[in-house]
Structure formats: C-alpha cells, structure tokens
C-alpha cells in the first residue's frame, strides 16, 4: 500500500495548508499525520487556518496550533470569525477568505474536511476548498461525531503509539471547551486510530485515514 509521501513530489521541503471549520478539527482529523511529518525532519512551511475562531475557541485554536507545530520554524496561524453552524449562509465570504489564503501560499498538500461529513459547516468548507484549491493535492480528513458519518477511506497514514499518545494528550490539554462532550474522549480517538490501523495493516497498529478524490499518478 502506497504511503501519502509517495503521492507528492520527492523533496525534503513541503508547504502544508491545514483548514478546519472549528478550533479542534485539524487536530482531530490530521494531528497525528502532522506530528509524524514534523518528526520525520522535513523542512515544513505550515499555514494553519481555523474559520470559526472567536472568543474562547479562538484562544484554544491559537494555543493548540502552537503546541502541534512546535519545532516548525515557518508557520502562520490564520483565524477567521465566521459564525459557527451557519457556514452555508456565509459561503461567499468564506470563499473570499480562502482565496486570500491562496494568495499567500502554494501548498503541496491541503488538509480539509471530508465531503462525506454530516456537519453543514464541514461540508461547506470541503466544497469551497476543493473549488479554490483545485490545482493542489487535497486530502480529506475525518472527524467522529454523533451523526455516525464514518465511511470507507482510500488513504492511510500509519502513526506510532507515541505520536497517537501525543496527539490525544494535546487534544485533551488544549480543548477544555470540548471535554464535557461525550464523544470527545481518549477512547473515541484511540479506537478510531486502531480501527484505521487495522484496515491498512499498520505495523504500529494505529493510523489516520483520509480520502483523496483526485490525484496525478505520473
């Protein structure tokens, strides 16, 4: 099974764009993969974008991004002020915001929400991301939730137990606003990583899973 690294140019420097509707989305969906890329010693430039990040959630988003990106010398955190749960009504403004981000970077990889996601904000972000960044490799991550929208994925990134523990530890540390929710706990995150690790036969037993709908093979 090919690794994500085999789908991008063979080079040591990468520019990564991470897009999340809410303050914990990137970390839940791709946090382990980002930590693994950092651990692998790649020369990374990371743009970390959270669209609904005001008040407490904005403070959490900024603090969490700093902890996940520790060791990345070149990174920028972009925080939007869009209204949570009402992204479909703000599509025009969100698209303009994403176009402004596109003017600031040329990413090798764009991490964004899945088009299968049941949350209306997440679906809107996916639709606009794939429109604005149509010439880039878009990797769609998953987020477990009450809606029960988990589905089959076609791409996996195995992660070590150490990286998984760090990801979960940072999630629990950084998002006090979420810890009261019954889906936001260590068992959920660990269980999903184990399931995806089983599916890709990860030697470490754990993985994050993604959907890549379009890519250039040669």
Given this model, what pLDDT does residue 202 score? 98
Q: Tokens representing 147? A: 């809606």
Given this model, what pLDDT does residue 1 score? 39
H and E: helices and strands count for the chain: 6, 7
CA atoms within 13 A on the CB side of 94: 27
Given this model, what pLDDT does residue 4 score? 52
Bridge partners (DSSP) of residue 213 are none
Mean per-residue pLDDT pooled into runs of 10, the chain (218 residues)? 48 89 98 95 94 92 97 96 96 98 96 97 98 96 96 97 98 94 96 98 98 87
Given this model, what pLDDT does residue 13 score? 85
Q: Rounded to whole angstroms, what are the CA distances from 42 to 27, 35, 46, 168?
A: 19, 11, 11, 23
Q: Tokens representing 32? A: 């382990």
What's the whole-model pTM score?
A: 0.94
Given this model, what pLDDT does residue 218 score? 73
State the fold for domain 4-211.
Rossmann fold (3.40.50)
Specify whether the backbone of 169 is left (phi greater than 0), alpha (psi in -120 to 50) or beta: alpha
- Domain borders along the chain are 4-211
């Amino acid at each position: 099974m090919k690794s994500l690294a085999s789908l991008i140019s063979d080079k040591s420097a990468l520019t990564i764009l991470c897009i999340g509707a809410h303050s914990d989305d990137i970390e839940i969906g791709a946090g382990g993969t980002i930590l693994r890329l950092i651990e692998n010693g790649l020369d990374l430039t990371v743009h970390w974008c959270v669209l609904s990040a005001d008040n407490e959630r904005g403070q959490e988003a900024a603090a969490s991004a700093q902890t996940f990106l520790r060791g990345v010398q070149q990174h920028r955190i972009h925080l939007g002020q869009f209204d949570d749960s009402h992204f479909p009504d703000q599509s025009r403004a969100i698209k303009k915001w994403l176009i402004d981000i596109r003017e600031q970077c040329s990413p090798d990889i764009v991490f964004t929400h899945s088009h299968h996601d049941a949350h209306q904000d997440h679906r809107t972000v996916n639709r606009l991301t794939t429109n604005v960044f149509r010439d880039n490799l878009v990797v769609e991550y998953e987020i477990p939730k009450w809606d029960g929208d988990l589905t089959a994925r076609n791409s996996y990134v195995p992660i070590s137990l150490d990286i998984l523990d760090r990801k979960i530890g940072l999630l629990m540390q950084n998002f006090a606003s979420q810890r009261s929710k019954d889906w936001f706990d260590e068992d959920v995150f660990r269980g999903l990583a184990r399931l995806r690790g089983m599916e890709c036969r990860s030697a470490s037993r754990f993985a994050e899973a993604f959907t890549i709908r379009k890519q250039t093979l040669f």
